[in-house]
Amino acid sequence: MRYLLISLLSVISFCAVAQVGKINPALQKPYLPKEVKGLYIGMPKQDAMKLHKAMRVQRNPGLEYPVENFKTGDVKKITCQVTNEDNTVYQFIVEYRSTAKAIAIAKKLFGEVNDASGKFPLGWEIKLDDGLVLKCWIFENKICIADSRQF
What tens digit of pLDDT does each residue of 88-137 get?
999 999 999 999 999 999 999 999 999 878 788 899 999 999 999 999 99
Res. 2: pLDDT tops 50 = no
6 inside domain: no
pLDDT exceeds cutoff 90 at 51: yes
* In-domain check, residue 34: yes
* CA angle in degrees (0–180, nearest 5) for 36-44-115: 55
Give the structural domain span for 41: 21-150
Task: For residue 110, count other CB atoms closer than 10 A to its CB.
Answer: 23
Q: Is residue 145 part of a domain?
A: yes
- Across the chain, what does the average pLDDT equal? 87
The pLDDT, as a whole number, for residue 20 is 66
What local confidence, expressed as pLDDT, does residue 5 receive? Answer: 31
The domain total for the chain is 1
Is 12 contained in some domain? no
pLDDT tens, residue by residue, 110-122: 999 998 787 888 9
Q: Annotate the chain with DSSP letters as a single string.
A: -HHHHHHHHHHHHHHHHH---S--HHHHGGGS-GGGTT--TT-BHHHHHHHSTT-EEEEETTEEEEEEE-SSSSEEEEEEEE-TTT-BEEEEEEEES-HHHHHHHHHHHH-S---TT-S-SSEEEEE-TTS-EEEEEEETTEEEEEEGGG-
Average pLDDT, integer, range 78-82 = 97
The set of residues, in sequence order, having a beta carbon less than 8 Å from that of 36 and lying 6+ positions away, is 78, 92, 94, 145
In a domain, 69, yes or no: yes
pLDDT tens per residue, range 3-30: 333 333 333 333 334 456 799 999 999 9
Residue 11 placed within a domain: no
